[in-house]
Amino acid sequence: MLTVAGIVAILAVINAMMPAISRTNASIVATADSVDSRISTDLEIIHVSGSNGSPEVEAWTKNTGASRIVPLERVDIFFGPEDDFVRIPYGEIGCFAPCWYYSIENDTVWNPTATLHITLDAGVNLTTGTTYYIKVVAPNGVTDARFFTI
């Protein structure tokens, strides 16, 4: 009788713990996938240009990581004078400023070694002697930033 009671108690404990173990396992797998994504993603702003009196800024950002960066519409761009920058929303060519759009150079998607050519319409004209800040943030949070002066 004691053996049967012991087996029933063990089964009760196992049945109570299995859902928690399963949820923990799913959480660990999701966390590992997120960490893997961040480790294999890297980007570098390789050049930024703009000209006095123009609202347009061009930036070339290289995918220097080991994985494709998608979706590009979820890339965040921050831009403005070094002490007054804001998030610039994504748009299509011809969007209402401030906005940005992109083309991909040397590939069809933003694979490793491909370059994302960002065209940003700041909505205000750039001025000579002003230092500007641009930050590109991949959808998984990997970033690069650069200061530049017109």
35 shares its domain with 50: no
Which structural domain range is residue 3 located in?
Answer: 1-40
pTM reported for the whole predicted model: 0.77
pLDDT in tens, 10-55: 767 677 766 766 666 566 555 544 455 446 789 999 999 999 999 9
Beta strands 56-63; 43-50: pairing state: antiparallel
Do residues 100 and 106 make contact, with C-beta atoms less than 8 angstroms apart?
no
80 shares its domain with 110: yes
pLDDT in tens, 51-102: 999 999 999 999 999 999 999 999 999 999 999 999 999 998 888 999 999 9
144 or 29, higher pLDDT: 144
* Residue 112 confidence (pLDDT): 97
CA-wise closest residue to 55 among 85, 80, 30, 73: 80
Alpha helices, DSSP H, located in the chain:
2-40
Q: Is 130 exposed, middle or buried (0-12, 13-18, 19+ CB in 10 A)?
A: middle
CATH of the domain at 121: 2.60.40
The three-state secondary structure class of 81 is strand
